[in-house]
């Protein structure tokens, strides 16, 4: 069996280190906003080149807290992509705001900047690009649009820890960057966890209050906040993996490039596109094909996992379908019908990749 991701390999590599540090946490009985959380926040901010990093309970919470800190609320509109996990839109809705879906670039699968301006209205307050599958969104024109229209930019970096444009990491371009540490992410913990980066002292202070019941000082509450705190145990895992994140991402890129070289030879297969503006860190390796069902069955028969990220664009999801029933986003809809993700993780071996590609080749050339 070749799984989509094998987390056991990373665990074995860092087992001795994290078990020693976890024992210290358990002995200290300091589990919430303790020294490991603070150390991780400083280390992550330093790595990414952000002034502040604020840990929280999940990537979804990171989005909601960042939007709330930026003043997004009832009746506001936030422009985003329909081709992403639902958490991106959920976070907007939690605050009473409305997601405004704009179609994607057919090559990168990220928000198409050329379509954003026509979606801006007097109610628009922010743009929320997603760096999907680890490929940086086209931030230059998005930031320029935001500047001209006085909009906030909140980056969804759930899948892009370590991705960069011109040597600058995602999460440092907009007003805030929102990260998920779900176990399968490029930088993942052993449960749920998240983080917000910002270069704004004002936003950082507000985010720290929002994650902790609106409190700066214990039992003194200035605003209505949330309970969304990264815990010490997850911070221990993240600190160990952060030391290795560059190597992890290099391993993912090497695996992806091996895939692409082999798949480029096959008819009816379009490997993922790197647009050359930045460094893609391949949280997912997602190709396009009109033969998805047959390929997935062939892989399954050979004991190889595959997945569809994402089979239904957000504007076609049941929860949103009535509201957006007249909205047509043809690129997102076409990509959702043809996308297929193959196993990808830093330790994936070349022999395994060749096995996977050989199964696909046998099917498409039969």
Query: In the prediction, which pLDDT does 128 show?
Result: 99
Instruction: For residue 275, name the pLDDT band (cuts at 50, 70, 90).
Output: confident
Q: What is the CATH number of domain 246-364?
A: 3.90.1150.10
Best CA proximity match to 158, nearest among 286, 60, 287: 60
Query: In the prediction, which pLDDT does 320 show?
Result: 97
Query: In the prediction, which pLDDT does 277 show?
Result: 86
Query: In the prediction, which pLDDT does 160 show?
Result: 98
Is residue 317 pLDDT above 90, yes or no? yes
Is residue 32 pLDDT above 90, yes or no? yes
Q: Which CA distances in Å does 297 have to 83, 275, 302, 355?
A: 24, 31, 9, 15
Parallel, antiparallel, or unpaired for β 215-217 and 220-221? Answer: antiparallel
* Alpha-carbon torsion, ordered 292, 298, 303, 308, to 10 deg: 10
Helix axes 59-69, 87-94, angle to 10 degrees: 40
Give the tens place of pLDDT for each residue, 66-101. 999 999 999 999 999 999 999 999 999 999 999 999
Partners of residue 9 on adjacent β-strands: none
Parallel, antiparallel, or unpaired for β 285-289 and 164-165? Answer: unpaired
pTM listed for this prediction: 0.98
What integer is the mean pLDDT of 252-270? 97
User: Which residues, 6 or more positions from 142, have their beta carbon under 8 angstroms from its beta carbon?
Assistant: 111, 113, 116, 127, 129, 153
Query: In the prediction, which pLDDT does 276 show?
Result: 84
User: Which residues, 6 or more positions from 25, have their beta carbon under 8 angstroms from its beta carbon?
Assistant: 31, 34, 36, 232, 233, 236
Percent of the chain at pLDDT exceeding 90: 99
Is residue 47 pLDDT above 90, yes or no? yes
* Same-fold call for 7-242 versus 246-364: no
Q: In the structure encoding, which two tokens stand for residue 63, read together? A: 């989005």
Distance between CA atoms of residues 137 and 321, nearest Å? 26
Q: What is the CATH number of domain 7-242?
A: 3.40.640.10
Distance between CA atoms of residues 341 and 4, nearest Å? 9
Instruction: For residue 204, name the pLDDT band (cuts at 50, 70, 90).
Output: very high
Distance between CA atoms of residues 62 and 239, nearest Å? 19
Q: With contact defined as beta carbons under 8 Å apart, do 252 and 281 qualify?
A: yes
The residue ranges of every structural domain in the chain are: 7-242, 246-364
Instruction: For residue 339, name the pLDDT band (cuts at 50, 70, 90).
Output: very high
Give the tens place of pLDDT for each residue, 92-145. 999 999 999 999 999 999 999 999 999 999 999 999 999 999 999 999 999 999
């Amino acid at each position: 069996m070749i799984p989509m991701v094998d987390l056991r390999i990373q665990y074995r590599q860092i087992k001795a280190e994290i078990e020693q540090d976890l024992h210290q946490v358990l002995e200290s009985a300091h589990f919430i906003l303790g020294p490991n959380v603070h150390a991780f926040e400083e280390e992550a901010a330093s790595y990414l080149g952000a002034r502040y990093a604020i840990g929280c309970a999940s990537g979804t919470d990171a989005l909601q807290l960042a939007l709330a800190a930026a003043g997004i609320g009832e009746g506001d509109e936030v422009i985003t992509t329909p081709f992403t996990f639902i958490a991106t839109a959920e976070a907007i809705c939690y605050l009473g705001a409305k997601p405004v879906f704009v179609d994607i670039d057919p090559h990168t699968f990220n928000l198409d900047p050329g379509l954003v301006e026509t979606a801006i209205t007097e109610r628009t307050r922010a743009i929320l690009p997603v760096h999907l599958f680890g490929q940086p969104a086209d931030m230059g024109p998005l930031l320029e649009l935001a500047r001209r229209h006085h909009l906030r930019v909140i980056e969804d970096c759930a899948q892009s820890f370590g991705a960069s444009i011109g040597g600058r990491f995602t999460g440092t371009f907009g007003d805030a960057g929102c990260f998920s540490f779900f176990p399968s992410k490029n930088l993942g913990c052993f449960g749920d966890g998240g983080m917000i980066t910002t270069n704004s002292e004002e936003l950082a202070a507000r985010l720290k209050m929002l994650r902790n019941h609106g409190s700066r000082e214990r039992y003194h509450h200035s605003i209505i906040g949330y309970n969304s705190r990264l815990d010490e145990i997850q911070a221990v895992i993240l600190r160990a993996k952060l030391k290795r994140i560059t190597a992890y991402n290099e391993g993912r890129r090497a695996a992806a490039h091996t895939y692409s070289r082999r798949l480029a030879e096959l008819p009816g297969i379009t490997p993922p596109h790197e647009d050359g503006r930045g460094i893609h860190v391949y949280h997912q390796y997602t190709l396009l094909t009109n033969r998805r069902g047959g390929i997935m069955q062939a892989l399954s028969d050979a004991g190889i996992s595959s997945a569809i990220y994402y089979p239904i664009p957000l504007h076609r999801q049941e929860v949103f379908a009535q509201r957006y029933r007249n909205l047509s986003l043809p690129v997102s809809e076409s990509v959702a019908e043809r996308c297929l993700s193959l196993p990808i993780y830093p330790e994936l071996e070349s022999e395994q990749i060749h096995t996977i590609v050989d199964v696909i080749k046998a099917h498409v050339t039969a």
